[in-house]
Structure 1
Amino acid sequence: MAGVMFCEPRHLYNIINQYRWRSRLAEPNYLCLLDARSQYEFDDNHIVTAQRIVLNPAGQYVIPNPEELGYVRFCVVYDHDTGFLTDTQEEEEEKEEEEEEEETGTSSLVPLGAEEGDAIFHARNLEHFTRHPVLLLKGGYRRFSACYHFLKSHKTLWMPQELDTFQPYPVEILPAKLYMGNFKQASDKQIQKDLRIKALVNVSEQPVTLFAEEGESLHVPVPDSLEADLFSSFPTISHFIDAQLDVGAVLVFSSLGISRSSTAIMAYLMHSCRFSLQ
């Protein structure tokens, strides 16, 4: 069995917002997101692209497409508030979150003795069919929707062409503080509002002004070339981000949000968090 692991809201946010030349949500075996709440709660609001786990006429929970689950890269289950965790446990989990992420990334193992809420009950059933660990959303819908209210939806059926055109948000690097994206995302006023972006770092050749009034920006004109010198700008970028994080969130972007922006982000993390290149 693949097992069951906790999944931080930030991890699910980044899973939902991955893209190549289009949103990865359009890939059939990329994400299976399952809502274990009641029909009423699901109809009221749910996380975008989620399906509700339903009962068959015999009163048994139906495993969605069990033959296909083995090929799904991410299978994520959530209930309202991950109720099998007590308030004390949640506080302890949040207090140790940074240490856990350093040791295990964005997920941690679910204890075998954990009290079973709806989400973990379904996750235990699903792990028999999946090749990768089933991810259990820590804090459930309540915590995720509090952090990412803009990823709530009433929509219950997504057509392939709708997933093809799904507009992803920038990747979250530091929770609610540092994001990485592309030019199109940086130009989107709604994204700026939803993520509370207060500063932009433009690592491309295009000199643009994307803030109408408030907000700071840094332009580092670097061509998209292997010979380009981005190294000499690392101190400038790092000091700018440090200063702006005290004000609000910062979005680092380049034309496509792939090489130059990710290089700048890595340089900043090595500077601020003392990470090694490994």
Structure 2
Amino acid sequence: MAGLELCEPIELYNVLNQATKFSRLTDRNYLCLIDARTKREYDESHLITAIRMKQNALGLYVVPPSIDFTYIKHCVVYDGRTDILDFASEMGDTAFGVDEEKNAPSGSAARCGRVLQQFTRFPVQVLRGGYERFTASYHFLQTQKIFWMPRELEDFLPYPVEIVPRKLYMGNYRQACDQQIQKDLKIKAHVNVSEEVDMFFPNDSDNILHIPVPDSPEADMLSFFSDLCHFIDSRMNHDAVLVFSTLGISRCSTAIMAYLIHSCGLYLKNAWSYVQKCKRNIRPNRGFVQQLSEWEARVYMSTVTDISEPNY
């Protein structure tokens, strides 16, 4: 069996907001989000694209026959507020005779996950803190909608990925221009790492840092790294910051890694792994990778990361 593991709210948020040309939610083998709460709770509100796992007369969870879990990369289960995967404590409430119109017993997500793990190749993830903790931070990802057409998922505009919880985000130009996204994430400061002009923030120049560089191996970002890090540090004390570039793949990921190296004590290899976990399709060009290596050497007085490895 594939097993169970806990999934942090920030991890699920970033999984929901991955995109290439379209949102990754359009891929049937990418994510299956399972709601293990009662029917009443699900009908009141649930997370976007979530389907409800039903129970039979004995209170046992029944796997939806319409879903092939074999190749689904992320199978995430949540209940109201599960925080642990301790099987013994979960069995304090019997698994039988559960009345669905009453509150589901503590640990229902873990019990549901143990049923699903028999059908998955990847570990089933149980959302830490459940629906309550997730929606406390990401209320805008809850819905009453049950059925999603493929076109609706294609039109879904993902949010910027979250790098530092509720403080630092990374995205693209389109997301930076969306005022609802700025409101939902409480973003007040922006780092624009693109050649586009900041016409959409005309009255807030103090909270904008514009680094107008092209996405070219010959472009110089290294000379901006120090100002970039100090700007983010100063704004993160009070506000959320969005770092963005045209497509949100090369220049903004370079800027984020430079910040993590300088202000979070990460070597380039660790910063790279962390940012790639937040956004799977980052792709700094070779010139920017070399500049990040030089920045690492400047911050730590030595080169730690071997950028000749294929992963870079």
Q: Decide: shared fold, TM above 0.5.
A: yes
Q: Is 1:236 equivalent to 2:211 in the alignment?
A: no
Distance 1:114 1:19 in 2: 38
Counterparts of 1:45-84 in structure 2 under 5 Å?
A: 45-56=45-56, 60-65=60-65, 68-82=68-82
Aligned to 2:7: 7
Output one character per residue of 1:94-143: Cα deviation in whole Å (capped at 9) or x when no partner: xxxxxxxxxxxxxxxx4554525110001111111111110000000000
Count of residues paired in the alignment: 253
Q: Deviations over 1:179-221 (max 9, x none)?
A: 0000000001001001010100000011113335456100000
C-alpha distance after superposition, 1:196-247 (max 9, x if no partner): 1010000001111333545610000010112211111111110100111012
Cα distance in 2 for partners of 1:76, 1:65 equals: 17
Q: 1:198–1:247: 8 Å Cα contact kept in structure 2?
A: no
Gap runs ≥5 in structure 2 = 92-106, 270-312
Per-residue deviation, 1:61 = 2.4
Percent identical: 55
State the Cα distance separating 1:58 from its structure 2 match. Answer: 7.6
Could you tell me how far apart the structure 2 residues matched to 1:212 and 1:149 are? Answer: 29
Amino acid at match of 1:161: R
Residue 266 in 1 paired to residue 257 in 2?
yes
How much does 1:25 deviate?
A: 0.1
Q: Distance in 2 between matches of 1:114 and 1:164?
A: 41
Q: Structure 1 pair 56/261, CA: closer, same or farther in 2 (3 Å)?
A: same
CA distance in 2, matches of 1:30, 1:266: 26
Asked if structure 1 preserves the Cα contact closer than 8 Å seen for 2:34 and 2:52, the reply is yes
Equivalent position of 1:169 in the other structure: 159
1:57-89: CA deviations, max 9, x gaps?
Answer: 78642212487211000000000111x65xxxx
Q: Which letter does structure 2 place at the counterpart of 1:195?
A: L
Task: State whether structure 2 residue 110 is matched by structure 1 residue 120.
Answer: yes
The alignment partner of 1:198 has SS state of strand
Deviates more, 1:49-58 or 1:16-25: 49-58
Residue 68 of structure 2 aligns to a residue whose secondary structure is: helix
113 and 232 in structure 1: CA distance in 2 versus 1, 3 angstrom threshold: farther
Partner of 1:103: none
Secondary structure (helix, strand or coil) at the match of 1:261 reads helix
The one of 178, 181, 185 aligned to 1:188? 178
Given that 2:229 and 2:262 are in contact with CA atoms closer than 8 Å, whether structure 1 keeps it comes out as yes
Q: Distance in 1 between matches of 2:164 and 2:253?
A: 13
Counting only pairs closer than 5 Å after superposition, residues 15-26 of structure 1 correspond to structure 2 as 15-26=15-26
How does 1:105-116 map onto structure 2 within 5 Å?
110-111=85-86, 113-116=88-91
Instruction: Please name the residue that 1:224 is paired with.
Output: 215
TM superposition shift of 1:52: 0.4
| Conserved? CA contact 2:195–2:213, under 8 Å | yes
What is the letter of the counterpart of residue 157 of structure 1? F
* Corresponding letter in the other structure for 1:236: D
Task: Tell whether the 8 Å contact from 1:183 to 1:255 is kept in structure 2 after alignment.
Answer: yes
CA distance 1:202–1:72, shift in 2 (3 Å) = same
CA 1:270–1:113: 2 relative to 1, 3 Å: farther
Residue of structure 2 aligned with 1:133, choices 82, 102, 123 = 123
Higher gyration radius (CA): 2
AA of the residue aligned to 2:76: V
Structure 1 residue runs of 5 or longer lacking an equivalent are 86-109
Letter in structure 2 aligned against 1:223:
P
Question: Residue 46 of structure 1 aligns to which amino acid in structure 2?
Answer: H
Secondary structure of 1:69's match? coil
Higher relative contact order (CA 8 A, sep 6+): 1
TM-score normalised by the chain length of structure 2 = 0.77
The 5 A counterparts of 1:33-48 are 33-48=33-48
In structure 2, how many angstroms separate the alpha carbons of the residues matched to 1:32 and 1:6?
15
The separation in 1 between residues aligned to 2:162 and 2:132, in whole angstroms, is 19
